[in-house]
Amino acid sequence: MSQTSRIDPIASPGGLSGHVHIFAGASNINAQSTYESLLQAACSSCEIQDDKSAYWTPLLYYQHSNGLFQEVPNHGMAVYYLGRGSNKTLTPFPPGFRIVSGDKASRSYNNDKIIPGGKRPVSDRVNFACLNGSPSKEENGMAKTDCKDGMRAQVHFQSCWNGIDLYKPDNSHVEYLSGVDSGDCPDTHPVPLVHLFYEVLYGVNDIKKDGGKFVFSHGDTTGYGFHGDFMNGWKPDVLAEGIKQCAFSKDSSVQYCLPFKPSLDPSFSKTCPQQPPLDTEPVYGTIDKLPGCITVTSGPLDAQESDMNCANGANGANGANRSQTLSAPIRDCRSRI
C-alpha cells in the first residue's frame, strides 16, 4: 500500500477529507493529485510500474468495549481489470478519468434502487466474504467478522461511460452494467469500459476482540457504506494494449500479459514501501476517536453528512496517539487482468 491519511483527491481536492483512506498505487499520492502528477510518481505499490493510478478505500477499525479505536491490519488489495459485459470492444480509461463506487452513507441494503436496464439492486456492487479455509457465501453487509483467514471486502465499479465527462461529483458520468459485473450498458452511457473490481483483505482475527465492534473510518459498522475510489494514472498505450490483448483472457496473471511485462516489478511491495501519513492527525495505534468529525452509525437509516464530516472539512487531530506505528505489516497491492 502507498499511503494512509485523511485525504481524498477526488472528493476533497486540496484539503482534508471527512475520513481516513488507505491507498495503493502511485507513491506520490496526495490531496492535490492529478493525472499529470501521478505519472511523475517514483514508483507504484502495485506490481505494474506503468500503472501509476491511485486506488483507495476506507480504513477499517475495531472499537473496543472501552470505546477506544484500533486499526485493523490490512493484508493487501487485489485490483482486477476484467473483460465483462456483452460488448467485447472495451475503451481504456482516458487521461484524467476518476470514478467512485459505493455510498458512504448507506447503512442497510436497498432493494428499491435498481440498475438501469437490469434487475439487480445497485447495493449489489458491494459485498463481503469471510475466509475460513475457503470463502463463505458473499453477503452485502459486514455480517461475519470471525474469519481466521481474514475478511474480504469487495466492490465492483461502473463499467459504462457517457463518453464525455472525465468526472462528475455525483458520478453520473458512469453507470453499472445491467448485471453489475455482466450484461449491457444503458443508452445513456454507451461507452463500455474495462470492469474494475477491488478485493481488500482485513486481518479481523488479528485483533483481540473484547465485545466491541468493527467500524469503517466513515463511521459504518454495517459494511453497506463500503466504497472504492479510482484515479487513472496509466500510460495510455500500455493500458489500451493490455485490455485489447488480455482483458478476456482466461489466465488472470499479469505476468502472461505481454504489454505489462516490461514494467513488472516482482519486488514491488519492498521497492515501493508505504509512505508516512501526510497529516499529523493520528490514524494508527489506539486512538480516542475516529479521525475527522465522525459519528459511529449502525442504521438502518442512512448516515447524515453531519455524521461523517466537519462543517469546514477539517478539524485537525482529535485523538490520543498512543502508538503511531502499524500493529501489523501492510502487505501489497496485486494487479489482475
pLDDT band at 317 (very low <50, low <70, confident <90, very high): very low
pTM above threshold 0.95: no
Amino acid at 173: H
Residue 310 has pLDDT above 50, yes or no: yes
Q: Position of cell 502508538?
A: 323
pLDDT tens-digit readout, 124-140: 999 999 999 877 789 99
Question: The C-alpha cell of 106 is what?
Answer: 448507506
Nearest of 27, 14, 48, 22 to residue 218 by alpha carbon? 22
Task: In whole angstroms, give the CA distance from residue 179 to residue 12.
Answer: 31
**For residue 335, what pLDDT is reported?**
63
Domain ranges of the chain: 3-336
Determine the 3-state secondary structure of 99 from DSSP: strand
According to DSSP, residue 222 is labeled S
pLDDT tens-digit readout, 189-213: 999 999 999 999 999 999 999 999 9
Residue 307 has pLDDT above 70, yes or no: yes
| Greatest CA separation for the chain | 54
Least confident range of 7-16, 63-72, 244-253, 284-293: 244-253
Determine the 3-state secondary structure of 154 from DSSP: strand
Task: In whole angstroms, give the CA distance from residue 188 to residue 115.
Answer: 13
pLDDT tens-digit readout, 3-58: 999 999 999 999 999 999 999 999 999 999 999 999 999 999 999 999 999 999 99
H/E segment holding residue 74 = strand 74-82
Region 305-320 average pLDDT: 58
Mean pLDDT of the chain: 90
Nearest of 25, 18, 16 to residue 43 by alpha carbon? 25
